[in-house]
Amino acid sequence: MKLNSEALPRRRSSETVLQTISRTFRDSELNKQLGAEIAGNYSHTALFARAEELLAKRIIDGDPLAYFLQGQLYFEEGWYEEALTQFEKIKEMDFQALYQLGVMYYDGLGTKEDPEKGVEYMQIIINSNSPKARHLKYAAAYNLGRSYFEGCGVKHSDKEAERLWLIAADHGNPKASVKAQSTLGMFYSTSNSKDLKKAFFWHSEACGNGSLESQGVVGVMYLYGQGIHQNTMAALECLKEAAERGNVYAQGHLVEYYYKRKFYTKAAAFARRHASWILM
């Protein structure tokens, strides 16, 4: 089971940062200008330059949020060394910067891999009583669970990984770590910790909270009666929706399902329709 860190949300960086600036910096005239720029047909390069310009001015004024936003701008752009420099400047006062540094040190983004430091930063967030760290605790618990599962930065422990992922999943809370919910589904599907009823439960929770990965798995579990009573109708509904969203796993299982039942025309048509995804 290969896992990735749960990073802060990533989109087209310059547009996202401009939108954040517009919401955060309470300057009505500036917000009006930014709204027009974001809505206009501006190139990514132009929006990126505008974001840098605005953030540079705020940084000169000593605004710590501007430091974070500039670091995030670079992070989303893949300029990891520049992002690391910005986050390091404010890690003592900004938990989001500390979180991103934890991800970067653990995965070796913009710096040499240092999983022990990544673990240390995630633990600081989890153990903090500050309200400013509260919204990061689920993701930090997921990442720390990953460290124990992989035995990287800490001694391997499936038991501790499970404990942390259960904290991160928070009984299926949609505002918690959906990645942890999906990971628990995979964890309980493995031979060492096999419990297909638990696996189905957690994949269902993650699916209900928008996980594309878990949606495909839930469809297959319904299809073959794994951890739940077999329900072909529910399986096909789930797999079709996941397939339309680009889930290759679901697409492959649907083609196999149609083929085995000798719906050859339907299998071929579906395979052609999704060939670019299935063959990737």
**What pLDDT, on a 0 to 100 scale, did the predictor assign at position 48?**
80
- DSSP one-letter string for 40-73: TT--HHHHHHHHHHHHHHHHHTT-HHHHHHHHHH
**What pLDDT, on a 0 to 100 scale, did the predictor assign at position 195?**
97
Say how many domains are in the chain.
Answer: 2
Residue 46, domain member (yes or no): yes
To the nearest whole percent, how much of the chain has pLDDT over 70? 83
- Return the sign of the alpha-carbon dihedral for residues 233, 173, 135, 116: negative
Q: Is pLDDT at 30 greater than 80 in this prediction? A: no
Domain boundary (121, 156, 191) is at: 156
Q: pLDDT tens, 85-123?
A: 999 999 999 999 999 999 999 999 999 999 999 999 999
- Give the burial string for 82-112 (b: 16+ CB within 10 Å, else e): bbbebbbbbbeebbbbbbbbbbbbbbebbee
Amino acid at 92: E
**What pLDDT, on a 0 to 100 scale, did the predictor assign at position 11?**
46
Q: Which domain holds residue 1?
A: 1-156
- Return the sign of the alpha-carbon dihedral for residues 71, 101, 149, 207: negative
Helix (H) or strand (E) holding 169: helix 158-169
| Inter-helix orientation angle 28-39/44-60, to 10° | 160
CA–CA distance from 267 to each of 43, 91, 221, 232, 254 (Å)? 41, 53, 20, 17, 8
Q: pLDDT tens, 186-198?
A: 999 997 889 999 9
pTM score of the predicted model: 0.84
Tokens of 257: 């399902």
Q: Is pLDDT at 41 greater than 80 in this prediction? A: no
CATH (domain of 70):
1.25.40
55, HSE (Cβ side, Cα atoms, 13 Å): 24
Does one domain contain both 133 and 192?
no
CATH (domain of 193):
1.25.40.10
Does one domain contain both 149 and 12?
yes
Q: Is pLDDT at 279 greater than 60 in this prediction? A: no
Does one domain contain both 108 and 201?
no
Does one domain contain both 192 and 130?
no
Tokens of 127: 């153990």
The answer to whether 247 touches 213, Cβ cutoff 8 Å, is yes
**What pLDDT, on a 0 to 100 scale, did the predictor assign at position 280?**
44
Residue 203, domain member (yes or no): yes
Residue 184, domain member (yes or no): yes
Q: Is pLDDT at 3 greater than 60 in this prediction? A: yes
